[in-house]
Structure 1
Amino acid sequence: MADEVLATRAPESDAQEVSGIEGDTKPDQGAASMGEITKFNDTEVYITKPADYPHAPSKLLLLLTGGTGVHSTNNQLQADKYAGEGFLVVMPDQFAGDPAPTTTTSSGPAEAHPSIIEQVKLGVASVAKSFTIDMWLARHTPEKVLPILHKVITSVKEEFADAVANGGGIYAVGYCFGAKYVLLLGSSALHQLDSAHVHVRAPESDAEEGIVKQGPQIKCGAIAHGTQISQQDMAEASVPMCVVAVEDDPLFPDRVRNEGLEAMKAKKLDHEFRVYPDVPHGFAVLGDYADGGIVEKQGEAFEQMLGWLKRH
């Protein structure tokens, strides 16, 4: 249970605290994104395309970000990498203009031995930050996020029907916050939403209320270091799924991952699962890490997810 508490209170950022700094890691010097921001059904989306599209066929990839959202340079560069591999990428704003807060616990350099007063100040700041994150997460629950994604998917199927048809459906990748929603979009269960949870409706109640059960909204998915994922989310996945995880990650606890993996195996779902050691939560999102080992594994994770998409 402690793991679940940590998972809901931790910052939703592309990169967990690295060298005392929270939020996006710095992009490469001079790096600039290649796509554009537009709107589908009143939702901002970042769209980036292969250089030869539409003259050459492409496949449609839905990219769901961590809490930093569509205006993060790192997220845009991540989307551009997939576009460079032949995918037409649509990255929607899941947060309706309200990305995760990126407050830090200290505005000055860290002291080797902070005074008692400084320790108290840091503690208060940490509590305030946790409260701020909790409030943000409370504003972005499945009953708020899923309708946004469904509207974007409806628009995408119309706007880029050629790419959807060429791939035989929509591919999806999700990082951090977005990983849970790749699993939900890849589920064949019909979800009833309330103010706190996502529930699976019983088939008999669906029939009684005249509700038509829809199939998965995506063809296959790949997720990296997810947050707020339950064992049920993984068990209900019904499309091929690639899972990139971080060793000893309190945001995606071992118990949840292992039980979810066993559920995938039991239903013979096509899947690929890899746990990366010695990396922070958020490592798979493009960023300028000083640690060469993290950079190397970042590249490995991208190739793993890219390879999965291309094989399906």
Structure 2
Amino acid sequence: MADDEVATRAPESDAQETSAKQVEPSVFPGDSRAQEGPSMGEHCVTDRPTPLGEVPTGELTKLGDVDVYIAKPSDYPHSPSNLLLLLTGGTGLKSTNNQLQADKFASEGYLVVMPDQFGANPAPNTVDMTPADAQPSLLEQFKLKAAETAKAFQIDMWLAYHTPDRVLPILYKVIEAAKEEFADAIANGGGIYGVGYCFGARYILILAGEHPDTVAWDQAAPKDEEEGAVKKAPLIKAGAIAHGTMITKEELEAVKVPIYIAAVKDDPLFPEEEVLTPGRRALEANKVEHEVKVFSGVPHGFAVLGDYDDPKIKQEQAQAFGEMLGWVQSH
């Protein structure tokens, strides 16, 4: 497709300049950055309008004492299925769009487990994605700016809380419980598959990597095995992610299983020059099967299910889903 770029090149990026100048507003309504610094944008913490007439068909339950949304193929367990772990952006478990996203994968034959990785504390959801009918007055602009500042502070605090040492133990509990509850699906697929969006994309990469088996992932790893630096093997068989946030090149360097990455061109939340390109080179050097697709003319968060007026974004959203699905199906 003409507007998409497979990341065999490193396009110019503004990301490295953001510390030296104020971030320019996005051309997409509601897609301004939620705060300064490489963290999350408004599309990570706010749902788009739900596609008309679509209603989730899965169930909210518990797995390993963690709240989860389970979406099953219509013929499961009478027909074999593969287990897919779906990790969301900041809108979390109760988001109708996230549940519908899980249902879409289930309709393709996957038993989908979508955990509440935030412990019933999704990101502050204070963004109105509905376009304004008229230019706001100066007073309204002042109020909007004040609200944006307050929202940015809330998201800062939320991100400071939801760190790997809190999120990963939740995911480990769900994975261990799934090994018992859905052993048939895991055996049928030869392992667990994973897809992740925005915040959840980072954790799919972590689960796809080989890391020191430390208690708190934000702490420095021991220097050698005598001090306890035992490597923890990947917990998923293959993964696919879209427009990740807070990803480091070191996390990409640690990936050991086949991975598909859908990125957005000139995305300051997943900068090409600083993170994506070095990470892609590491995947190549480590001989890890991978595909990186850079989508242009779409906002960060475009691949998350939700309605857009722009037919191009709708088309790219459908393509990203098809490519992520195709990747896990082929592995």
TM-score, normalising length from structure 2? 0.85
Q: State how far apart, in whole Å, the 1-side matches of 2:71 and 2:94 are.
A: 13
Which residue of the partner structure matches residue 32 of structure 2?
none
Residue 291 of structure 1 corresponds to 310
In 2: Cα distance, 1:213 partner to 1:274 partner? 30
1:126 is displaced (CA, Å) by 1.6
Q: How does 1:72-87 map to 2 (within 5 A)?
A: 72-87=95-110
1:42 aligns with 2:65: yes
Q: Is the 8 A contact 1:226 1:245 kept in 2?
A: yes
* Cα separation, partners in 2 of 1:29 and 1:40, compared to 1, 3 Å: same
Tell me whether 1:216 sits opposite 2:239 in the alignment: no
| TM-superposed deviation, 1:119 | 3.2
Query: Counterparts of 1:163-202 in structure 2 under 5 Å?
Result: 163-192=185-214, 194=216, 197=218, 199-202=220-223
1:277 correspondence with 2:293: no
Partner SS state of residue 318, structure 2: helix
Deviation per CA, 1:265-310: give whole Å up to 9, x if none: 1111100110011111111111111111111111100111011001
Distance across 1 between alignment mates of 2:88 and 2:301 = 11
What is the CA distance between 1:188 and its match in structure 2?
Answer: 1.3
Distance in 2 between residues matched to 1:156 and 1:270, nearest whole Å: 26
Residues 200 and 301 from structure 1, CA distance in 2 versus in 1: closer, same or farther, beyond 3 angstroms? farther
Judging changes above 3 Å, is the alpha-carbon distance between structure 1 residues 2 and 233 closer, same or farther for their aligned structure 2 residues? farther
Aligned partners of 1:48 and 1:83 also within 8 Å: yes
Please state whether the residue corresponding to 2:232 is helix, strand or coil. coil
Q: Please give the alpha-carbon distance, in whole angstroms, between the structure 1 residues aligned to 2:103 and 2:135.
A: 40
> What's the offset of the Cα at 1:101?
0.8
Aligned to 1:263: 282
1:70 equivalent in structure 2 = 93
2-structure distance, mates of 1:225, 1:70: 19
2: CA distance, partners of 1:190 / 1:34? 39
Match of 1:28 in 2: 51
Greater relative contact order (Cα < 8 A, sep 6+): 2
Distance 1:242 1:129, change over 3 A: same
Q: Distance in 2 between matches of 1:212 and 1:85?
A: 37
Name 2:37's counterpart in structure 1. Answer: 6
Gaps in structure 2 of 5+ consecutive residues: 1-15, 20-35
In structure 1, runs of 5+ residues without a counterpart are 15-22
Contact 1:174/1:182, CA 8 A, preserved across alignment: yes
Question: What is the letter of the counterpart of residue 130 of structure 1?
Answer: A
- Code of the aligned partner of 1:82: F
Does the 8 Å CA contact 1:35/1:80 hold for their aligned counterparts? yes
Corresponding residue of 1:20: none
Report the CA distance shift for 1:170/1:201 in structure 2 as closer, same or farther (over 3 A): farther
The alpha carbon displacement at 1:122 in A equals 2.4
Secondary structure of the corresponding residue to residue 37 of structure 2:
helix
C-alpha separation between the residues in 2 aligned to 1:91 and 1:201?
A: 32
Please give the per-residue CA displacement for 1:208-239, whole angstroms capped at 9, x wherever unaligned: 34x65331111011000000001111111111
Contact 1:66 1:175 in 2 (8 A): yes
Match of 1:240 among 252, 258, 261: 258
Aligned to 2:25: none
Alpha-carbon separation, structure 1, partners of 2:130 and 2:314: 27
2:59 aligned with 1:59: no
Which amino acid letter does the alignment assign opposite residue 289 of structure 2? D
Aligned Cα RMSD in Å?
2.1
**Equivalence for 2:165:** 143
* Residue identity matched to 1:305: M
Superposed CA offset, 1:50-74 (max 9, x none): 1111111110000000011111111
Match of 1:160 in 2: 182
Change over 3 Å in CA distance of 1:269–1:199 after alignment to 2: farther
Write the distance in 2 (CA, Å) between the matches of 1:294 and 1:198: 39
Q: Which residue of 2 aligns with 1:310?
A: 329
